[in-house]
Structure 1
Amino acid sequence: MVICKSEEAEQSLAERQHLELGRNDDETNESLAGFAIQDVYFPDGGVNAWRTALGGFLAFTASIGFLSGGSVFQSYYITTTLPSSDPSDIAWIGSVQLWGCFFFGIWAGRLSDKYGPTLSLGVGTIFLVLGSMMASISKKYYQFLLSQGFCMALGMGLIFTPALAIQSQWFCKRRGFIVGAVMSGQNVGGIIWPVLANKLLNYDGVSLGWTLRIIGFIQLGLMIAATLLVKRRFPRTLEYDVLPVRQYFTDKRTIMFTVAVTIMDLGVYIPWFYITPYAMQHGASASLAFYDAAILNGGAFLGCFALGIIADSGVGFFNSLTVTTFGCAVVAFAWVGAQHTGGIIVWAIVYGILSGALQAIFSPCLSLLAPTPEIIGSWNGIGITVASFAVLGTGPIAGRLLSEGGGNGYVPMQLFTGITLVISAIIFLATRVLVSLDRWI
């Protein structure tokens, strides 16, 4: 159980939640019995805190941002580079990237907790840039899968969890806003990379190889800056040398939350993979369709900030997550009706706002369920790794649903997205009730 202190010695909403979550669940108390009550000071500002937030933002721009804008490359591979390959096969490239962000979380989180984030971020940078460079000389499908898929996935996975979880060591009162700000880096990247790729490939006549090399060099510069900026707060303690797997899987609230996130991840990312080919299928030019991915990320950028601010202001993290998931489900079903260029753009903005908000808010919720701040990285890592098995199948499942419709039938894929979000929203609601019936969280 953690009692946070703000600079003015007042308990903020997030601080009260940390305290309340430790008091209101007898079933969780057993898993927390081995931990002493700590009086932890959260700076919520200062040079080291803000530099860590900036570093996390740059890391997300370089790594996860490339994944967020990946639909432009999927579309390019389908139409130009790998026209003989099935779309469901090509979808494995982006799906493996997304899986890597989640699957390697448990090891990245553990490395970050034990040795600080620098090691994990540094090694992740090597694999991220290596993947881009090797993809630039790839010619066949399996080469793209190994380089842009698995190699970049390992790099993204080693970057994702430390860059995100470390923020909760520095911020409590502003946690929702800061995590949203850091995760908005993926949306900035999701805007930059498609626009850059579109200009190089479709206007300047640059080859795919040199486009990927240019992106790789930019990623290298961003990640060097991020690695130097991000700073750990707590020293290594032998008390937490053992990965808290038993505690994690004996906490009913955490288990339910993880199940909800896993189901959500089966569907929420599908539009991010298919917005570009979907727009082209409905009459958009290749150039405009490339910008649809940027528009989706622009909406997500707003969502990351907005929901974090709302959650911090008194609405609560779990309340915000539950309501937003229901709203995102409604918009996902509305995707079926977006069949013209203007409608697709409007839909992309709204879905981007809501789905971006979901991506930004789940980590603060999971961090609140962690017994102590020293193991927030591991706690997030375990949950993210479990969810990785869902995201691994996201692209291929969507591609298979699309193929069943002869390559033109997006409706089954769209309905699948909405259904997974409805189910996850219901479980999020049940988790919120289990956490506390008499407190606004």
Structure 2
Amino acid sequence: MTEKHLHDESTPIPVVPTVSRDDDNVAYPEGGWAAWSVVVGSFFGTVVAFGMMNTVGIFHQYLSEHQLKGYNESTIGWIFSVYVFLSFFCGIQIGPIFDAHGPRLLITAGSICMIASMFLLGVCTAYWHFMLVFGILGGLGTSLIFTPALSAVSHFFLVKRGNATGIAAAGGSMGGIIFPLSLQRLFPAVGFAWATRIIGFIFIACCAVAIALIRSRLPPKPGQAVMPDLKILKNRAYLLLTLGTYFMEWALFVPITYLTSFATATGAMDPAFSYQLIAIMNAGSCLGRWAPGYVGDKLGRFNSMIAALVLCTATSVTLWLPASILTPHTAAEATTIKVLSIVYALIFGFASGSNISLTPVCVGQLCDTNEYGRYYATCYTIVSFGTLTGIPIAGSLISATGGHYWGVVIWTVLCYLVSLCCFIWSRGEMVGWKLGVKY
């Protein structure tokens, strides 16, 4: 909507953002300085939260070669699975606190947790130290930051929510580029303790921007408690969406966690380059966080998610599986493994970028706005238990196959296939089976 003003040719015409309204007649500005500054703040918040989530493979590989060398893959994997589990599970009650009090208190608390986690990691020596500092403190801090950061974006956008959320979530991919490349240089140069402290200083700068810019807009809802409600699973489309998200997250964190150790185990790549694979994956994901959301606003959020899942499945079958089966007996075979791994990291990173950023938007399409908290909480309560077990299961598969990774790849492919079928079926329940329908 625009207002008419009398003006001469030298007077700039004021630009008023288009306003959208939801089913409850709540207005959303869909743009403007206030809205986009929140997106910028959320971007810096997800640099810390999702950036660390996208770097767990680097820490997994380093700890398995140094402080936790005597532990098997599955046992070490529990540290990072607890981290991811808490990152999602804690959002159940963080969401209502955000609704009642806004984002600043939560993001400040999360920033303290994340910064403390990085500074304390340097003095950790025992397994339980890493579980407490990285798994529990880091997981809580991540949830305290990204839950209000992405929720605040939804206060300003409705029609363009997929695009805006994708831009905000792309900060996680940017962090996933910066942190692995930094740690690759810092570990040998200054040691583990100072490497994590330097990352902690980066956290301080990013969190300061997030605290300053992220704000809420809709009226507070004090006293509102959003708890999981299993009765809404009677809605078949929603049940299928929840199952699809469960299997998708089960698969997603396997490459994120084990791609670095896979690259090292093949013998086709030196350890320094294996660290760079995570950065390559996140370079693809940086575009992948935004593009599917933008396309989803134009062509349908479910359509965009389904296309992304097809690409995740296809790349795992055609690129990562052959790389996991080959043995580098010759220079040509080693080169083939390296090329397949690089291309896989880049394309899978792009395809999987929407796995976290677009799912909440899809959940929102299956319910009224005033029921979103209940639907989101129920979905991610169930999904969080998948993230708790996925990484250790993958570690057990590596041990069961004698240190080979083809079992992990097949597990990833199967999870993505089930997820894809669930999303297609969920969409079919809502709009039928015609491909051209925007949904």
Q: TM-score, normalised by structure 1?
A: 0.87
Aligned to 2:13: none
Aligned to 2:417: 422
Alignment of 1:32-431 (within 5 A): 38-202=24-188, 205-237=189-221, 241-243=224-226, 245-246=228-229, 248-249=232-233, 251-282=235-266, 283-313=268-298, 315-334=299-318, 335-338=320-323, 340-372=337-369, 376=372, 379-407=375-403, 409-431=404-426
Q: What secondary structure is seen at the aligned counterpart in 2 of 1:169?
A: coil
Shift of residue 379, structure 1, vs aligned partner: 4.1
Where does structure 1 lack aligned partners over 5 or more consecutive residues? 1-5, 19-36
Change over 3 Å in CA distance of 1:181–1:378 after alignment to 2: farther
Contact 2:80 2:391 (C-alpha < 8 Å) held by counterparts: yes
Shift of residue 248, structure 1, vs aligned partner: 4.7
Comparing 68-77 with 321-330, greater Cα deviation is found at: 321-330
Amino acid of the residue matched to residue 391 of structure 1? Answer: T
Amino acid of the residue matched to residue 228 of structure 1? Answer: A
Q: What secondary structure is seen at the aligned counterpart in 2 of 1:138?
A: coil
Contact 1:260 1:428 (C-alpha < 8 Å) held by counterparts: yes
Shift of residue 360, structure 1, vs aligned partner: 2.3
Contact 1:109 1:378 (C-alpha < 8 Å) held by counterparts: no
Shift of residue 244, structure 1, vs aligned partner: 5.9
Q: What secondary structure is seen at the aligned counterpart in 1 of 2:155?
A: helix
Q: What secondary structure is seen at the aligned counterpart in 2 of 1:166?
A: helix
Contact 1:95 1:395 (C-alpha < 8 Å) held by counterparts: yes
Change over 3 Å in CA distance of 1:248–1:49 after alignment to 2: farther
Q: What secondary structure is seen at the aligned counterpart in 2 of 1:84?
A: coil
Q: Percent identity between the aligned chains?
A: 28
Change over 3 Å in CA distance of 1:93–1:182 after alignment to 2: same
Where does structure 2 lack aligned partners over 5 or more consecutive residues? 1-15, 327-336
How many positions carry a matched residue from both structures? Answer: 406
RMSD: 2.0
Please give the alpha-carbon distance, in whole angstroms, between the structure 2 residues aligned to 1:378 and 1:199: 44
Contact 1:111 1:119 (C-alpha < 8 Å) held by counterparts: no
1:196-217, CA deviations, whole angstroms, 9 ceiling, x for partnerless residues? 1111113xx2110111111112
Q: What secondary structure is seen at the aligned counterpart in 1 of 2:25?
A: strand
1:346-395, CA deviations, whole angstroms, 9 ceiling, x for partnerless residues? 111111111112222112111233422x6645543442232110001111
Instruction: Give 1 or 2 for the bigger CA radius of gyration.
Output: 2
1:213-271, CA deviations, whole angstroms, 9 ceiling, x for partnerless residues? 11112212211220221110111136x82426447545443232112101211112200
Aligned to 2:438: 440
Contact 1:110 1:378 (C-alpha < 8 Å) held by counterparts: no
Amino acid of the residue matched to residue 429 of structure 1? Answer: I
Contact 1:105 1:380 (C-alpha < 8 Å) held by counterparts: no
Q: What secondary structure is seen at the aligned counterpart in 2 of 1:170?
A: coil
Amino acid of the residue matched to residue 304 of structure 1? Answer: R
Comparing 251-260 with 300-309, greater Cα deviation is found at: 251-260
Amino acid of the residue matched to residue 361 of structure 1? Answer: L
Shift of residue 326, structure 1, vs aligned partner: 2.2
Contact 2:92 2:381 (C-alpha < 8 Å) held by counterparts: yes
Shift of residue 419, structure 1, vs aligned partner: 0.3
Comparing 42-51 with 376-385, greater Cα deviation is found at: 376-385
Amino acid of the residue matched to residue 399 of structure 2? Answer: S
Q: What secondary structure is seen at the aligned counterpart in 2 of 1:234?
A: coil
Please give the alpha-carbon distance, in whole angstroms, between the structure 2 residues aligned to 1:8 and 1:115: 27
Change over 3 Å in CA distance of 1:214–1:248 after alignment to 2: farther
